[in-house]
Structure formats: C-alpha cells, structure tokens
Structure 1
C-alpha cells in the first residue's frame, strides 16, 4: 500500500457524509507533488499578476485558465455567465466537489516595485482610464486552482467522484457568481455536493491559514446617490443651490446611521468611497455623484440602513430647497452574507491542523468584507471558504513590533509572497477535496 492510499483510507467513510474522527496525515505525500510543479506554478502566477483584467473584462485571463485546466485533463467550457470557466474531471461514481477561484483585478495603479508588476491601463465601466492591478490576490487564487487540478489528475487512481474547477469573473463587483448560476452552472454541469474556495489574506504570515465556522462575511450593497442643485458662478452662491455643500452635509449625516440608529451590539458600515462633482474652481455645478458601500450582518439591519440612507439624502435636499436626489441601490452588485457549513468546517480544519501544525491554523473573527461565493452555498451546496496567509514572516514580525504596517489587500502596495503561499494553498485545498472524494477501501 502506497502512502497516498494509506492517507485516503484514513479519511474514513466512503460517502459524502462527514466523519467525526481526525484523519492522520503524517505520511501525506501531497507536498512533494506540489513541489514538483512549483516552478511552473510560480511562472503562471507571475503571468496572471502582470496581465490583470477588470471585472467583466477577464477574456484573456479566462482563456489562459481554460488552457491550464485542459492541460490537467479537464473537460472545459468557456464563457459561462460572461467570461466564466468551468472545468470538469469525472472519475467514476461518487460525490461532486466544486472549487472556485476568482479572476478579476482592481482599478489600481500598482506600486509594489516587483519585476513582474502590472503596467496595464484599461477603460472601466464609466469610460475612465484606470490602472489595473491584482491587489486582492486573485492571481494567486487562480494559480492554486491550477495546482489543485494538476495534483488531482495525477492522483486519479486514488479517488473517485467528480471535481469541478471554476474560474469566476466579476467577484469584485459581486456579479460573477450570480451570472454563472443564471447561465446554468448547477444545471448544465454536475451539481456539487460541496463547494470550496480559498482566498489570500494580507494579515497573516505565508504558510498559515485562517477560518471561521458559521457566518464569516457580511451582506454587501452598492449605493449611488446623485445630488441635484442649481449651478452658477462661484462668486454668487446666493443665486445657486450648491450641490457640493449638500453632498458634504449628506456624507456627514450618513455617519449617524451606524452611530445613532443601529444597535451598538450589531455591526454595520456605511462608507462613501467616491464623490465627484464640478469642473472648475469658480463654477458651482448642477450635480454631485456619491458612491457608497454598505455592509450589514443580517437582513433586518440591511433593510434599515438602506432605508435610512434614502431618508437622509432626501431630507437634506428638502432642507436646502434642492430637487429630490436620486438614490439607487444596485441590486445586481448585491452580495449576500457568507456562512461556512459548520460540520464541513470542523472536519476540514482538523485536516489542516494535522498537516500544517496547529500553530499555523487560526480561527478568525467575522469580517465585514463581502464574497459572492456565498451564492453557491445559498443555491443549495454546503460550503467552506478559508484564507491563506500571504505575508513574509519578517514583515509580520516587524509590524507586530510597531514597525511598518502590513500592506493590505485593495491597496497599491499589496502582493502575496509566492512561496510558500502557493504551496500551502495547493496542499490544503487538495487535502480538503480528497477528504470529500474518497476511494472505497479494497
């Protein structure tokens, strides 16, 4: 009996049901298999990093990911829900496991100084020219998916069932999972018994993972407010209704929603991330546009916060004798809260602790970040989503000692250190998948 067979037999039951005992992984051969392909994976990661594409524009990224999955023996379908990629590897009777990686990048000009840094410029959905950067680590998430696909294909004689690897577009705007599901992801392809995903984390050292059972992330809403006024000369403000001043009043008043309307034991965030209006120093414009992100932990609070935003904006306009503002909640970019299945989380985390050591596996508090991976779970497939630490040990230690703070995701200086982050991602995800695609003992 080889080492991998011993490992898989130790993963216990032969059905998708989750066993209670902790499997032994002391003879885990997966790290050696990952090490063999690591040079190619690092090269692939650098390619993804230096060729980022914005949400809904992931055409070249999707084509490269599809090519890699085909090379790993998967049957691949492209253009699912936009630029979505679906790779299917059938290997006899057994459960179906879906593993997702997100593909899109952010409108940020990279300032990492890396030799493979992005220099890409693109036109966004508002027809603005912006820099493009993988500032959230989706380049590494895709690389881990390819590594998983290759290892699982190599080990086909050691498991049975179906593995579905997907490249999801438009995660950053909360639209990709919804679009793929609407295009028949769970109807045209094998419906998963479980869904898994990983994501880079800028707060933990590379080689570590962190998780949370139950609710892990929040509801996310995108709100646009257009404030209307009456334009005119900046030297004669009395002849105008100044939408800049009105917008400023709304920004301040919005802060009272969380501080004065929401239960202090609840959690919510209302952030104005963008405000634009006017063309010149001495011209009072006719309108100002605000862009908001709203985070809530439950549906009742979500309903209350969104209603309060509209009430405050309209009340401010009435006080200034201004036209009624336009308040638009973008339902297409709504992301529901993410809940990890508790039994699946317990079983998978036990594997991680055994493989990595308990000191490298951390339970984390709930986050007000958003993740549309939640839609796959809400569609009826229990899921587990976890984070990969991605920072060098020395930087983490320095930050903990009061030195330079760590670069965070969604900033122009963030990048995941490729090794050991990629190796840890492929290793842990392979363990998680093998735990659910078990081969019957002979």
Structure 2
C-alpha cells in the first residue's frame, strides 16, 4: 500500500513535540518503517528510532532525519496549524510548532525508504534510517551515539542528510567544505546585589550590568573579527527580576555563537569571556560572572568527492540546474557527529520549500528577507505537496548514488 506522504506530513505538523519528548512522532515513524519491512528499534538515545533495510552485500548508507519541534506559537494560518502545548525543560508550559521543518524531514525520509523498497531489485547494500531526537538541543546525535547506535547497527560508509529551507521548491543547495557553522550555546549569569528599586545606590544592579554586556558583545563581530571572516554573536534571551520595584540579585543571558572554524571559535569565546568579566568588574560586582557552555556543535563539513557525486545525482533526478551552491549557512547542526565518530564522509544539503512564484516576486522587489519566512519563524510553512516530492527524490537519488 502506498503511503500518503502529504497526510503523514500534516499529521506530524499538527502534533509537534519538543526535544527528547518525541514519543508520538517516533511511534508514527517506527510504524511506517515496520510496514515497509525494515528491522526497527525504538528508544535509541531516549526517543530515537533506527530502521535497517538490508538488501544483499554492498555499502552501508545512513539516512538521517531529525524529529523535534520548537517552543514557538504557530501563526501560519494553515488549516492544520499546530495548537499543541508542551512542557519546557524549565517546567514551563509553552506552545510547540514545527517551525524548523523537521516534520518535512521525517516525511521525506519515509518517502525515500518507500522508493528504495520499491526498487530494491535495482540496488544492493544496506540502508540505515536514523530518526534523531533533540537536534534543537544539539544533543540528539550524541545521545544516540552514547546509546551505542554505531555499534548496535550496521556501521555507515557514508552519512547523508537534508534540511528544508526558504529556497524555492525545486532548488537544492549543497556545497563542498563547510556547509554550516560551528556553534556554542552559553548561559551567562551576572551576579549583582539586590535591593529596593528606590535605593539603587545600595545595590549592584545586574540589569544595567547585563544591558551593558549585551551592547558590548555586539562589537565582537563588528570590531574584533576580520570582516572577511564570519562570526555571529546573538543574545537570544535575558531574564532578570520579578517586580518593577525590586532590583534583582542576578541577570541571566543566553548566547548563541557561530563561526566557520576552530580558530575563530577560540577567538570569539575568549572575547566573550573578557567582555563579560570586564562589564561585571566595571559595575562593581562582588561575585564574578559564571559562564556555562550548554552545547557545542562542530561545523557541518561536506566531503568534496561524495558531495560532487550527490550534486550530480540530484541534478540529474530533478533536472539540470536544480542544484546550486548556497554558500555557507551560519545555522548549525549536530548531524556531523555521526560521521565524525564513525570516521566516514558526510554530505548534507538543503532543499527549498517556498512557492517559486512567491520567491521570484520577493527577489524582484528586493523583499526576500522581509517577505519569505525563515526556519524558526512562527510563519514558516513549506508548500507541502511539491516540497515532499522534491525531498523524496533528492534523498532517494543521493542514496542510490552510493548503493551498489
């Protein structure tokens, strides 16, 4: 029986789940893999799923898709828009949305497996489907590796993966070398001395300290990194205080840092530490600030030779000119841990999910940045049908390129 992939996508989109909470998503995906005849195990790395399709001697190709959603309130207006709620790691109820397209990734992977099963007389080898949790935490791949995914299942000869993005449908973006940036997520706590809002002179105000720190951090990329290089320093959240007339005892900043290589990473981290410490000292803080590294992700690096093969295979499958070099993305991924720990090549690419006419109009008017929603936006919604088809075709073509 043919899988209704669009219905599967709508179902997953309507029922998003937060990182390491993807129990329903995992169950739905595992059921489809079993229906296709794969050997399936669940609960790998807490909520991960692995399916194995053996088809005689030959290479082992891993196909990876991530499953988790984000704490975002959907505003797409779609008839199948998510109204789901979830509980964050902090114990707070939050809205949940597939604002990064992981529902599309799962759907395309299942569609590619269906195509591979249907054509198994034309290829030989082993396909391992890896449905990974907690990509948004940057922790899912490591959790699966810690749970023995590289030892318990056929070890890969190559790892392949793809990500939907705001390119026009029918366009695939892939490049050799660094495809996505490395990143670190830091939690910075500025320690002050709390007191009454009417007596600021008797306190050390961490709110002012944090505000000065945020502004000074912006000078790292603009004034301390060579303009020819790439670096991003983003303060994603600030938390301080509970009432208007209380100066709190501390302020917490959450930082997202991005860079293309280890050398730039070391420079940025050193500058962040220097600025945070200096602003605390300038404010008269009696306790030095604390910096905790919540996650660290390596750059996503595509091996050149297999990337050339993937590019040619996808271009042939979708039509000449479908594949472009999109440049390096400053977003980050944890997919590369699978390839790095296995010591094998990785190829990771992007495929478009935006209506081509809408995209062309935005390009013509110079409004791409303001009109086309990006990943993590509450308005991000790939055009379901054609995006699924292209994702299935691209992933199938790439897998077949390496199967005997």
Q: TM-score range by the shorter chain?
A: over 0.9
Match of 1:428 in 2: 394
Deviation, structure 1 residue 37: 4.1
Residue range with higher mean Cα deviation, 383-392 or 261-270: 261-270
Deviation, structure 1 residue 94: 0.6
Deviation, structure 1 residue 381: 1.6
Match of 1:10 in 2: none
Q: 2:326 aligns with which of 330, 348, 364?
A: 364
Q: Give 1:33-44 correspondences, 5 Å limit.
A: 37=2, 40-44=4-8
Paired with 1:231 and 1:71, the residues of 2 have a C-alpha distance of: 60
Paired with 2:336 and 2:46, the residues of 1 have a C-alpha distance of: 19
Match of 1:69 in 2: 33
Q: 1:293 aligns with which of 235, 256, 261?
A: 256
CA RMSD across the alignment = 1.3
Tell whether 2:270 aligns with 1:339: no
SS in 1 for 2:7: helix
Paired with 2:232 and 2:8, the residues of 1 have a C-alpha distance of: 37
Paired with 2:397 and 2:182, the residues of 1 have a C-alpha distance of: 30
Match of 1:233 in 2: 196
Paired with 1:432 and 1:238, the residues of 2 have a C-alpha distance of: 65
Match of 1:121 in 2: 85
Deviation, structure 1 residue 314: 1.3
- Which segments of 5 or more consecutive residues in structure 1 lack a partner in the other structure? 1-35
Paired with 1:74 and 1:421, the residues of 2 have a C-alpha distance of: 25
The answer to whether the 8 Å contact 1:272/1:290 transfers is yes
Deviation, structure 1 residue 183: 1.2
Tell whether 2:288 aligns with 1:324: yes
Q: 2:265 aligns with which of 302, 305, 314?
A: 302
Deviation, structure 1 residue 261: 2.2
Match of 1:26 in 2: none
Match of 1:178 in 2: 142
Paired with 1:140 and 1:195, the residues of 2 have a C-alpha distance of: 19
Q: 1:96 aligns with which of 38, 52, 60?
A: 60
- Which segments of 5 or more consecutive residues in structure 2 lack a partner in the other structure? none
Deviation, structure 1 residue 264: 2.3
The answer to whether the 8 Å contact 1:136/1:409 transfers is yes
Match of 1:22 in 2: none
Q: Could you report, residue by residue, the CA deviation over 1:47-91 in whole angstroms, capped at 9, with x for unpaired residues?
A: 000000011111111111111111111000111111110000111
Paired with 1:297 and 1:44, the residues of 2 have a C-alpha distance of: 36
Paired with 1:313 and 1:336, the residues of 2 have a C-alpha distance of: 24
SS in 1 for 2:50: strand
For normalisation by structure 1, the TM-score amounts to: 0.88
The answer to whether the 8 Å contact 1:110/1:119 transfers is yes
Number of equivalenced pairs: 399
